[in-house]
Structure 1
Amino acid sequence: MPWSEVMTPVPMRRVAVVVPHEALRVSLVRIAEAGCVELDRVEEAAPGAAAQRLQRLQTRPEAPAPAPSGPARPTREAAALTVLAPDLDTLEEHRDLGLLAGEAQLEERARGAVVRGEVAGLAGWCPAAEMPRLARRLAAAGGALVPLRPPPGVDPPTQLRSGPSAAFAPLVTTYGTPPYTDVDPSWPAGITYVVMFGIMFGDAGHGALLLLGALALRLGRPRRLARYRRLWPFLAGAGAAAMLAGVAYGEFFGPTGVLPVLWLNPLASPARLLAAAVVFGAGLLALAHAAGAVNRWREGGPGKALYAASGGAGLVFFLGFALGAAGLVLHRPNLAAVGAALAAAGLALVAVGVFRATTGGFAGLAETVVRLFDVVVRAGTNTLSFARLAAFGLTHAALADLVWRGTTGLAGRGAAGVVGAVALFVLGTAASFALEALVAGVQALRLEFYEIFSRLFEAEGRPFCPWHVPLAAPAEAERKVATCSPG
């Protein structure tokens, strides 16, 4: 799959479902079973017959169901449907909540149908790749699937892609649903997150423990965490990043001497680690601005991409800001001058964009000045915020060093000291592992959301919510047919 497709949401199509009116129920059941269409719904409609019965059962105190005249019917909680319409009174009598819930959903979707003579039509959204499969299912019921033009001013719902990047999608959806036209940053955001986590949690031994945890999660162990199994690549990535950072730092369950220092010792070179973290953060912010410019272009065209503070204008300013700061730190006047010129040009573009969006006059000018001040302050504070990568990396190294010093100090005091050293090492490592894993996870998430995503997204999209209700089990469906209403 080309990268341009990997980094975009699933293509959606506006569709119409056209069926004979007498086959509307069968078609809706097939759509619900397919689970790939989001049908338009009637807002604030009165509840139908099935919904009313379901509400009565849900508000009525639990009571034993009367003995059925036919085979016993187990009480169901999950929504389900049958091809033929069941007798609603019978379902209520036997407290069949599942089938009543399914019928209530079907009634709600059926009210959204437009009926013209003997033909009924429904509109909705469907992933482009699912249209052939859905068209075949509808054709078997005498219906058809017709592509439509999207309504003016209405964006399609957003469905992020499945596959390797799906493990990182919760990072994005926790922040919000990306607009349909925007870039899907799931896998870049996931890689960025695990790298930042690794910098703060840099220890090869601790990273190996995370990898073991990822393997256990992949195998479904422990079972109570099996529902999080799809996140195992996320945990594995964090463990691998922590191991790589630990190799660079020479840390293996602390400064045990098992690994040589390949890059720097955090406690011996804190200033160098802080500088590297800030430079790394500046690079991430520049990439976020570039991705934001792409999003602004997709949302509003070249004009919005050029003048937006989270678009091209913001990118030009930030690059100038970074070059100017580098020139001052490195004592390079020429580099600082070039950076200042770029920053001024970027601010000028931002000012034009902000002022054009105001009502003009003195109020518009004042708003523009305030916004420009905010852009400048945010550029500095957000860049320096990445120093926390080094700060928490130093904290992690200091805790591991403290545990190791205590361990070696006890180990030289006889047999009792050795026992105490082992206990201290195990308990101290467990405590520092748990504390720093939590801190690194939260801080990496904070940097992802406030520093990076705030530049990617200016608006929030709407998630794709396909209607999916499975058919009842075949044996149970046969029993329901026996009690179906004549209609």
Structure 2
Amino acid sequence: MSRVSVTGSKRVIDEVIEAAYDHHSLHVTDYDDRYEGFEPGTSLEGAEDVNEQLVTVRSLESILDVDEDDADGPGKLPDDALTAELDRTRERVNELNDRRDELRAEIRDRQEEIDRMEPFAELGIELDLLGGYDSLEVVVGEAKPDAVEAALASADGIGAFEVFSGGNVVAAFAVPAEGAESGVLQDALVGVDVAFLEVPDADASPADYVAELEGERVDLEEDLDAVDAELEEVKAEAAGFLLRAEEQLTIEAQKKQAPISFATTENAFIAEGWIPTATVADFEAVVADAVGDHAEVEELERASFTPDGDHHTEAVADGGSSDNTAGGGTTAPDVGDDADREAATDGGHATHGSDEPPVVQDNGGAAGPFELLVQGFGRPKYSEFDPTLLVFLTFPAMFGFMIGDVGYGVLYAAIGYFMYSNYEGAFRELGAVALWAGGFTILFGIYFGIDVFGYHAYQLLGIHWPVAGKGLSPADLNWALAFLVVSVLFGLLHLNIGYVLSFVSNYEQHDLKHAMYEGGSWLLLLNGAWIWIFSQHVPGPKPDFLFESVSILTLGAVSFAGFPVAVGIAGLVAAGLGAVLLAIGEPAELAEVLSPIVNVISYARIMAVLLAKGGMALAVNLLAFGAYIGDEGAGSFHFIFTPEYLAYIQENSVANGGEYELVFAGLTTAFEPSLVGIVALLAGVVVAFVGHVVVLLLGVTSAGIQAVRLEYVEFFGKFYEGGGNAYSPFGYDRKYTEE
């Protein structure tokens, strides 16, 4: 990427913007007040009118519910035709939309009136009989008739009363006792759960009035349907035009607002930004063809980057230096005006070192969707290694190992396929990530004994499987410890990659000394400490499973008793050398000298989630189907499923001198042709379904989050900062319009 400036007279700013826009390669950077005499520019004349038209177009699209599927192909749209057609469409749509709003309001009013009148229609008493008395008080409300009658019967201020009801509506008529004050009827009902209703003012009977209102509502709904149909006709006619108008006005608005990012005086402007180095000459030619010598393109600095992490910038203009800095001493070119030249050259035309080149992530293929996970931490800077490929290689594997179930894996893959097929953008990329995660979950599910929703299918198939499970059964607890060692070894590999990338990056950007201080020291600490841990030097505190796990994982093909004592001592020496290098280069980081050990132990969460999710699936199946342990309690979990098999297990249990230990009888095993048996069967099915759905969802929040945490915190923290800017060239890829 090259950083360029375009300097010219303001009278050609329109032509320069057009040329840069059509070239579609310049990533414009905002002016930051670094040039004396220059100020940020303002929008070009007519920008406000264009923005108003754009707002109108988008409002019409919203009213008509226009989307990209309504496009009728690209076409030309002259400005005069745009304005005339937009005015005509706006007038027609606004008229129909106003009419639609009026009809909806009237329908809503009718419905509210119907809702208000329906209780009185249920009551069946004419409205004029519910009020207008001198010596009689009347209330109408929603309440229980018995409660109202009881309250009135016990009230002191009521001389006589009568209660009428219809549905849940009550009308109470009462004659106040002699000397009672007005409102005694409502006072008597204070302790009753009653919602008072206001009696409407209407001449017709409630039932007739409701029928009349419903008829009016039907007529209004028919009118509304007609308006909606007319709007659909307008949409069919205008959708293509609106999409073209939105695109054309968006382009025009971007052009007119472009000077906001420029440095300007009364007569001159400077626009700066990044452009691919290979296109600089072509860009210069395009600007020259547009305005001749009234503007000049100058390459200020050039950034280079290699996959090894090499990134530097060189000033390439006259008078600049090539010292791997962004500094330079170039001056602004002649823009045809003495005052402007003086302002532009005062203090030198210095480039801005903190202006990082923009970044394009182009991993493509299978790794492409994993850019989303990297960008969740931060887009890579131009000078950084893009870790997307490494995330692609490690994240699905960690996720799949932690869940390790064929059934869940199929569901994750199905969800991912649905998202990938039906959405665009971030949801599509998440779908691809879920597909890969589901695939690895299936693979590890097969490895863990063809595990299907917590059930070892190899038992059903009647075959021998070398990996008995996830370490949950009494017979395979040693596998759980072996998976702990696997998690630690994966962490060692993962962190080594991170520290190697840190070493390479520092070597390429600085020198070997910096690389040894900032990367080599941690590599020595990490590997030296863990070589000692896996050695026979001072064996007492070291658990046996550290060494026995190799034999378990290789099914006895390889045995490992630990590295020899001499190798362990060499590891300690290497770790000590790493600490010395760290003290020399980064003494403040000595406080974290034990972090290589702690960081690797952090990967034990992989094994922890594996056991947790496997244990949850086991618990669900145990509750639903029942389970027993064979081989006098030292074997594996087996599910029961049927009442007949439960009876067999109970007869041959350890308590009865047999070899089976019953763990739980299960809900479905209580099935029998009775109400209790059917309820037990249904309860078991519900427990199994809901339980596995919960495990499925928690798999995302536990395995997914833990895998992301290991990527972000443990791995990225060794070599990656993020914070880069996406390459966004000034221009537009036309979709609905033609030049």
Q: 1:387 — aligned with what?
A: 604
2 CA distance for matches of 1:51 and 1:432?
59
Relative to structure 1, the CA distance from residue 18 to residue 332 in structure 2 (aligned partners, 3 Å threshold; closer, same or farther) is same
Relative to structure 1, the CA distance from residue 130 to residue 264 in structure 2 (aligned partners, 3 Å threshold; closer, same or farther) is farther
2:441 is the alignment partner of 1:239: no
Q: 2:671 — aligned with what?
A: 414
Equivalent residue in structure 2 for 1:163, among 329, 353, 364: 364
Whether the 8 Å contact between 1:16 and 1:147 is mirrored in structure 2 is: yes
Relative to structure 1, the CA distance from residue 431 to residue 335 in structure 2 (aligned partners, 3 Å threshold; closer, same or farther) is same
Q: 1:265 — aligned with what?
A: 469
- Aligned-pair distance for 1:198? 1.2
Whether the 8 Å contact between 2:24 and 2:732 is mirrored in structure 1 is: yes
Question: Please, which moves more after superposition, 384-393 or 420-429?
Answer: 420-429
Which is greater in Rg?
2
2 CA distance for matches of 1:298 and 1:287?
16
Question: Please, which moves more after superposition, 187-196 or 453-462?
Answer: 453-462
1:399-436 Cα shifts (integer Å, max 9, x gaps) = 11111222322332326244433332222111110012
Q: 2:702 — aligned with what?
A: 439
2 CA distance for matches of 1:172 and 1:79?
36
2:705 is the alignment partner of 1:449: no
1:96-119 Cα shifts (integer Å, max 9, x gaps) = 8x5784255222245469988xxx
- Aligned-pair distance for 1:371? 2.1
- Aligned-pair distance for 1:26? 3.6
1:314-360 Cα shifts (integer Å, max 9, x gaps) = 11221111111111543742221010011111111111112xxxxxx
Structure number with greater CO (CA < 8 Å, separation at least 6) is: 1
Instruction: Give the letter aligned to residue 432 of structure 1.
Output: V
1 CA distance for matches of 2:690 and 2:515?
53
Instruction: Give the letter aligned to residue 500 of structure 2.
Output: A
SS for the counterpart of 2:274 is strand
2 CA distance for matches of 1:468 and 1:228?
26
Relative to structure 1, the CA distance from residue 278 to residue 112 in structure 2 (aligned partners, 3 Å threshold; closer, same or farther) is farther
Q: 1:426 — aligned with what?
A: 689
Q: 1:42 — aligned with what?
A: 31
SS for the counterpart of 1:72 is helix
Q: 2:257 — aligned with what?
A: 105
2:502 is the alignment partner of 1:292: yes
- Aligned-pair distance for 1:204? 1.3
2:17 is the alignment partner of 1:28: yes
Q: 2:579 — aligned with what?
A: 347
Relative to structure 1, the CA distance from residue 212 to residue 30 in structure 2 (aligned partners, 3 Å threshold; closer, same or farther) is farther
Give 1 or 2: higher helix fraction: 1
Question: Please, which moves more after superposition, 211-220 or 394-403?
Answer: 211-220
Relative to structure 1, the CA distance from residue 296 to residue 141 in structure 2 (aligned partners, 3 Å threshold; closer, same or farther) is same
Instruction: Give the letter aligned to residue 318 of structure 1.
Output: L
Q: 2:521 — aligned with what?
A: 313
Relative to structure 1, the CA distance from residue 133 to residue 197 in structure 2 (aligned partners, 3 Å threshold; closer, same or farther) is farther
Question: Please, which moves more after superposition, 393-402 or 37-46?
Answer: 37-46
1 CA distance for matches of 2:397 and 2:702?
15
Q: 2:614 — aligned with what?
A: 397
Question: Please, which moves more after superposition, 253-262 or 405-414?
Answer: 253-262
Whether the 8 Å contact between 2:363 and 2:388 is mirrored in structure 1 is: no
Whether the 8 Å contact between 1:157 and 1:463 is mirrored in structure 2 is: yes
1:171-197 Cα shifts (integer Å, max 9, x gaps) = 222222333222111111232111111
Relative to structure 1, the CA distance from residue 352 to residue 170 in structure 2 (aligned partners, 3 Å threshold; closer, same or farther) is same
Relative to structure 1, the CA distance from residue 206 to residue 40 in structure 2 (aligned partners, 3 Å threshold; closer, same or farther) is same
- Listed as ranges, the gaps of 5+ residues in structure 1 are 1-11, 83-95, 355-367, 478-487
- Aligned-pair distance for 1:291? 1.2
Instruction: Give the letter aligned to residue 381 of structure 2.
Output: P
The within-5 A match list for 1:191-210 is: 191-210=393-412
Relative to structure 1, the CA distance from residue 203 to residue 471 in structure 2 (aligned partners, 3 Å threshold; closer, same or farther) is closer
Relative to structure 1, the CA distance from residue 210 to residue 135 in structure 2 (aligned partners, 3 Å threshold; closer, same or farther) is farther
Whether the 8 Å contact between 1:217 and 1:228 is mirrored in structure 2 is: yes
Q: 2:590 — aligned with what?
A: 372
Question: Please, which moves more after superposition, 388-397 or 341-350?
Answer: 341-350
- Aligned-pair distance for 1:41? 2.6
Q: 2:151 — aligned with what?
A: none
Relative to structure 1, the CA distance from residue 336 to residue 292 in structure 2 (aligned partners, 3 Å threshold; closer, same or farther) is same
2:488 is the alignment partner of 1:278: yes
Q: TM-score under structure 1 normalisation?
A: 0.74
Whether the 8 Å contact between 1:13 and 1:127 is mirrored in structure 2 is: yes
Q: 1:72 — aligned with what?
A: 86
Instruction: Give the letter aligned to residue 263 of structure 1.
Output: V
Q: Please, what is the CA RMSD of the aligned residues?
A: 4.0
- Listed as ranges, the gaps of 5+ residues in structure 2 are 34-39, 61-81, 91-241, 303-314, 316-324, 327-352, 543-561, 626-665, 673-677
Q: 2:274 — aligned with what?
A: 125
Instruction: Give the letter aligned to residue 105 of structure 1.
Output: Q
SS for the counterpart of 2:275 is strand
Q: 2:419 — aligned with what?
A: 217
- Aligned-pair distance for 1:148? 4.5
2:512 is the alignment partner of 1:302: yes
Whether the 8 Å contact between 2:17 and 2:255 is mirrored in structure 1 is: no
SS for the counterpart of 2:454 is coil
- Aligned-pair distance for 1:458? 5.3
1 CA distance for matches of 2:390 and 2:720?
15
- Aligned-pair distance for 1:451? 0.6
Instruction: Give the letter aligned to residue 434 of structure 1.
Output: L
SS for the counterpart of 2:452 is coil
Q: TM-score under structure 2 normalisation?
A: 0.51
1 CA distance for matches of 2:244 and 2:264?
23
Q: 1:255 — aligned with what?
A: 455
Whether the 8 Å contact between 1:314 and 1:346 is mirrored in structure 2 is: yes
Give 1 or 2: higher strand fraction: 2
1 CA distance for matches of 2:265 and 2:620?
68
2 CA distance for matches of 1:406 and 1:280?
34
Whether the 8 Å contact between 1:18 and 1:145 is mirrored in structure 2 is: yes
SS for the counterpart of 1:412 is helix
Relative to structure 1, the CA distance from residue 291 to residue 307 in structure 2 (aligned partners, 3 Å threshold; closer, same or farther) is same
SS for the counterpart of 2:593 is helix
1:1-43 Cα shifts (integer Å, max 9, x gaps) = xxxxxxxxxxx23345578876542442343355432123323
1:48-76 Cα shifts (integer Å, max 9, x gaps) = 46699489979x9xxx99xx994434789
Percent identity of equivalent pairs: 22
2 CA distance for matches of 1:255 and 1:237?
23
SS for the counterpart of 2:692 is helix
Whether the 8 Å contact between 1:80 and 1:102 is mirrored in structure 2 is: no
2:533 is the alignment partner of 1:325: yes
2 CA distance for matches of 1:407 and 1:129?
66
Whether the 8 Å contact between 1:158 and 1:464 is mirrored in structure 2 is: yes
Relative to structure 1, the CA distance from residue 54 to residue 176 in structure 2 (aligned partners, 3 Å threshold; closer, same or farther) is farther
Instruction: Give the letter aligned to residue 270 of structure 1.
Output: A
